[in-house]
Amino acid sequence: MNVKIPEMMDRPEVLLRGNFACAGCGLSIAYKTSISALNRPIVVIPACCSSVIQSLHPNVAYNVPTLNIAFAAHASAASGIARAKKMRGEDTTTVVWSGDGGTYDIGLSTWSGAAERNENIIHFCYDNNFYSNTGAQRSGATPRGAVTTTTPRGKREKRKSIARIMAAHDIPYIATASIGYLRDLYTKVKKASMIEGYRFILIDAPCPTGWNSDPAITPELGELSVKTGYFPLFEIEEGKLTFSKRGIRYKDPINRLSIEKYLEKQGRFKSMTSEQTKLLTDDLQYEWDMLSKLE
Amino acid sequence: MMNEDIELKDPVLPLGRPTLGSAGETGDWRTYRPKFIEENCIKCYKCWLSCPEGTIRVDAHGEYPYIDYIYCKGCGICVHVCPGRKKQKALEMIPE
**Quick check: A143 pLDDT over 90?**
yes
Strands A130-131 and A59-60: unpaired
How many beta carbons lie within 10 A of that of residue A211, not counting itself?
A: 23
Q: Answer whether B54 sits within 8 Å of A16, measured CB to CB.
A: yes
Strands A173-178 and A199-204: parallel
B56 contacts in chain A (CB < 8 Å)? none
How many angstroms separate the CA atoms of B39 and B57, rounded? 18
A63 contacts in chain B (CB < 8 Å)? 18
| CATH dotted code for A5-292 | 3.40.50.970
What average pLDDT does range B43-55 have in this prediction? 92
CB contact B66 to A (< 8 Å): no
CB contact B67 to A (< 8 Å): no
pLDDT the model gives residue B2: 46
* ipTM of the complex in this document: 0.89
Percent of chain A with pLDDT over 90: 87
pLDDT the model gives residue B5: 54
Domain ranges of chain A: 5-292
Q: Which domains does chain B have, with CATH numbers?
A: 26-95 (3.30.70.20)
With a CB cutoff of 8 Å and minimum separation 6, the contacts of A87 are: none
pLDDT the model gives residue B1: 43
What would the pLDDT profile of A253-273 be if each residue is shown by its tens digit? Answer: 999 999 999 999 999 999 899
CB contact B12 to A (< 8 Å): no
CB pairs under 8 A between A and B: 119
What would the pLDDT profile of A58-85 be if each residue is shown by its tens digit? Answer: 889 999 999 999 989 999 999 999 999 9
Confidence class of residue A182 from pLDDT cuts 50, 70 and 90?
very high
Q: Choose the closest CB to B61 out of A6, A19, A219.
A: A6
